[in-house]
Structure 1
Amino acid sequence: MTQFFSEAASAEAVNARIGEDADERLREVMSALVRHLHAFAKEVQLTQPEWETAIDFLTTAGQLCSAERQEFILLSDTLGFSMLVDAINNRRPGAATENTVFGPFHVAGAP
């Protein structure tokens, strides 16, 4: 367990602070998120202004959300993340047509 935060061991330091009473699956998901997010920042050498722009973007998206409008789902769609989650949760044989989330071409119960 890493006690102190350093650039080299940043993810380990953060993940070491996850409470022992945390749900096991939540711990797995959040630990992986932290590892990948920290690896991304290191890979692109994220600058402070870039980080601030990202925070502003996420803040604005959150402020636009309402009961009728969910901007983070639209962001997930834009990044291809919604399709990836659908593909993971609805794996098909190699010769099958590609998955699609609900949309104009969705047909309930399609083979």
Structure 2
Amino acid sequence: VAEKTVGIILGFLRKDGPAEPVDELVKSIPGAEEAIAANSSGGGLSSLMGGGLMALGSRLMGLGLGMGEIQSVARELFKFGRAKIGSDAMDKIIAGTPGLSQFA
């Protein structure tokens, strides 16, 4: 579930976030490309909801995660990202991705 969660979140960031810092983040995480590919949305409910943060939340809740768990995973990912690519790049991702600041 953890690998799926990270893959889904990184896939969302790649789609909806600022390209350059997100690519830097993905490159800094071993296995990230594979996790994104294995958990990319093939349509279904996510496409019906139009994507974005609501679709991300629905996909993660579909894995059995509650909102508190989703926030915890996001905060840990952001903390890891700051350690790997720096606060400035991570702040660009958070600021440049609609709705993401509520999880930072």
Query: Structure 1 length normalisation: TM-score?
Result: 0.28
Higher-RCO chain (CA-CA 8 Å, sequence separation at least 6): 2
What is the TM-score of this pair, normalised by structure 2?
0.29
